[in-house]
């Protein structure tokens, strides 16, 4: 096998679309091997050329990418300290001593290591060799490690080049008491990834709101919510005077003459193009400073043409400020729209 220069991660179901994004960004890139589910090693172009291209035009389906500067074959189980030492010695020179760093390790199934142990031991090893401060919350540079049964791959990059602040783009949230739906994680992840700041006591429209997970999150952030859905909301929202539930379709509400909003979110289970047309119809009711978020549902064999058509419709009223298949998206992508 050739030596990899980068490792990328995407949802396994979106492999074709993610690999097409690699080919578009760097036609010379070769994706050589699937290391694990949704993780591929690639070569033939430097990591930096791919990362630069994606800074200009971020991919939708590639969730995370990291460089490989060191490939250590693993023929036997190594002592964690030895492994950390080997990675530290080789990669310390890549670390900028002025920039806070963090170590992110992914251990693929059947490899006998624990990510936490490797992170701790490698961070110690780097700190012994450089003066760089460790900052796991807001690192400027990341030492990424992927360990399979056969090899350990490691590389250092600026955090912004990885496309996600989380190892492999796996943004996990803890379940909360009172959580209404798993869909809540999608909204939390989108607000964070697209850095959407909600105005104090903003006015939000939630299209396709039932059973009410997104509405609950918006209420936690002190938004007044108009929740539109013919289906019922969870009883925990019934008493909340700052939630107005309209048991209508979005189309019916649009005909009634909606209010004006700071934020429109749309998680409707609807054909992507129909959903986009509805978003365009609601655009006059979004304040100029506002934002919109929508999930775009994709059929099993999603074609780029469907996504392009959906974008074309939306662009009649919006700028597409962000588009990504989030860690919590299944057969869908999430868009951040600005009027």
Ligand X SMILES: C[S@@+](CC[C@H](N)C(=O)[O-])C[C@H]1O[C@@H](n2cnc3c(N)ncnc32)[C@H](O)[C@@H]1O
Q: What is the 3-state secondary structure (H, E, C) of the chain?
A: CCCCCEEEECCHHHHHHHHHHHHHHCCCCEEEEEEECCEEEEECCCHHHHHHHHHHCCCCCCCEEEECCEEEECCCCCCHHHHHHHHHHHHHHHCCCCCCEEEEEEECCCCCCCHHHHHHHHHHHHHHHCCCCECCCCCCEEEEEEECCCEEEEEEEEHHHHCCCCHHHCCCCCCCCCCCCCHHHHHHHHHHHCCCCCCCCCEEEEECCCCCHHHHHHHHCCCEEEEECCCCCCHHHCCCCCEEEECCCHHHHHHHCCCCEEEEEECCCCCHHHHHHHHHHHHHHEEEEEEEEEEEECCCCCCHHHHHHHHHHHCCCCEEEEEECCCCCCCEEEEEEEC
Does 208 bind ligand X (CB under 6 A)? Our answer is yes
> Closest approach of Cβ 252 to ligand X, in Å?
8
Answer for the pair 134, 101: CB distance below 8 angstroms, yes or no.
Answer: yes
One of 210, 218, 263, 292 touching ligand X (CB under 6 A) = 210
CB closest to ligand X, residue no: 213
Residue closer to ligand X (CB basis): 205 or 323:
205
Closest CA to 307 of 333, 277, 278: 333
Where does this chain touch ligand X (CB under 6 A) — which range of 108-116, 145-153, 205-213, 311-319? Answer: 205-213
Question: Applying CB under 6 A, which of residues 88, 202, 213, 290 lies at the interface with ligand X?
Answer: 213
Query: Residue 190 interacts with ligand X (CB under 6 A)?
Result: no
Angle between helix 183-193 and helix 213-220 axes, rounded to 10 deg: 50
Which of 38, 67, 211, 322 is close enough to bind ligand X by CB under 6 A?
Answer: 211
Report the nearest approach of ligand X to the CB of residue 228 (Å).
5
- State yes or no: is 297 an active-site residue: yes
Size of the site for ligand X (CB under 6 A): 23
Least distance in angstroms from the C-beta of 217 to ligand X = 8
CA distance 161 to 20: 19
229 lies in the site for ligand X, by CB under 6 A: yes
Instruction: Select 108 or 248, whichever has its Cβ closest to ligand X.
Output: 248
- Kindly tell me which residue out of 42, 155, 168, 212 binds ligand X, with binding defined by CB under 6 A: 212
Among 40, 94, 161, 214, binds ligand X (CB under 6 A): 214
Spell out, one character per residue from 152 to 181, where the chain touches ligand X: x when CB under 6 A holds, - when not: ----------------------------xx
| Segment contacting ligand X by CB under 6 A, of 16-24, 116-124, 262-270, 313-321 | 262-270
**Nearest-approach distance from CB 182 to ligand X, in angstroms:** 8
Using rule CB under 6 A, residue 258 touches ligand X: no
Q: Which residue stretch of 3-11, 224-232, 239-247, 319-327 sits at the interface with ligand X (rule: CB under 6 A)? A: 224-232
Torsion of CA 217, 223, 229, 232, to 10 degrees: 60
Is 270 one of the binding residues for ligand X (CB under 6 A)? Answer: yes
User: Catalytic one among 24, 241, 255, 297?
Assistant: 297
Rule CB under 6 A: is residue 71 a binding residue for ligand X? no
User: Is residue 267 a contact point for ligand X (CB under 6 A)?
Assistant: yes
CA gap 201, 33 in Å, rounded: 49
Q: How far is the CB of 127 from ligand X (least distance, A)?
A: 42
Measured from the CB atom, the residue of 16 and 240 that comes closer to ligand X is 240
| DSSP state, residue 197 | P
Q: Where on the chain is the footprint of ligand X (CB under 6 A)?
A: 180-181, 183-184, 207-214, 228-231, 249-251, 267-270
Task: Give catalytic residues, as residue numbers.
Answer: 297
């Amino acid at each position: 096998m050739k030596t990899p220069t980068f490792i990328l991660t995407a949802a396994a179901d979106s492999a074709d679309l993610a690999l097409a994004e690699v080919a578009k960004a760097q036609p010379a890139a070769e994706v050589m091997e699937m290391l694990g589910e949704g993780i591929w090693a690639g070569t033939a172009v430097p990591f930096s050329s791919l990362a630069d291209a994606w800074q200009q035009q971020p991919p939708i389906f590639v969730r995370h990418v990291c460089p490989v500067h060191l490939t250590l074959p693993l023929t036997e189980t190594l002592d964690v300290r030895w492994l950390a030492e080997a990675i530290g010695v080789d990669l310390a020179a890549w670390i900028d001593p002025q920039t806070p760093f963090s170590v992110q390790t992914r251990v693929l199934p059947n490899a006998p290591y624990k990510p936490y142990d490797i992170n701790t031991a490698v961070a110690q090893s780097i700190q012994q060799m450089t003066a760089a401060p460790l900052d796991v919350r807001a690192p400027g540079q990341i030492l990424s490690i992927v360990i399979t049964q056969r090899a350990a791959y490691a590389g250092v990059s600026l955090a912004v080049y990885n496309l996600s602040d989380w190892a492999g783009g796996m943004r996990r949230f803890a379940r909360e008491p009172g959580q209404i739906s798993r869909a809540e994680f999608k909204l939390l992840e989108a607000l964070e990834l697209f850095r959407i700041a909600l105005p104090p006591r903003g006015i939000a429209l939630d299209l396709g709101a039932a059973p009410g997970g997104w509405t609950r999150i918006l209420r936690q952030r002190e938004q007044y919510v108009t929740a539109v859905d013919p289906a019922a909301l969870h009883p925990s929202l019934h008493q909340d005077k700052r939630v107005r539930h309209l048991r209508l379709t979005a189309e019916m509400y649009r005909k009634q003459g909606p209010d004006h909003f700071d934020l429109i979110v749309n998680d409707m289970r609807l054909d992507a193009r129909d959903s986009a047309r509805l978003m365009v119809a609601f655009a006059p009711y979004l304040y100029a400073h506002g934002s919109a978020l929508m999930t775009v549902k994709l059929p099993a064999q999603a074609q780029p043409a469907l996504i392009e058509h959906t974008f074309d419709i939306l662009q009649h009223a919006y700028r597409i400020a962000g588009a990504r298949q989030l860690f919590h998206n299944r057969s869908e992508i999430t868009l951040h729209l600005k009027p």
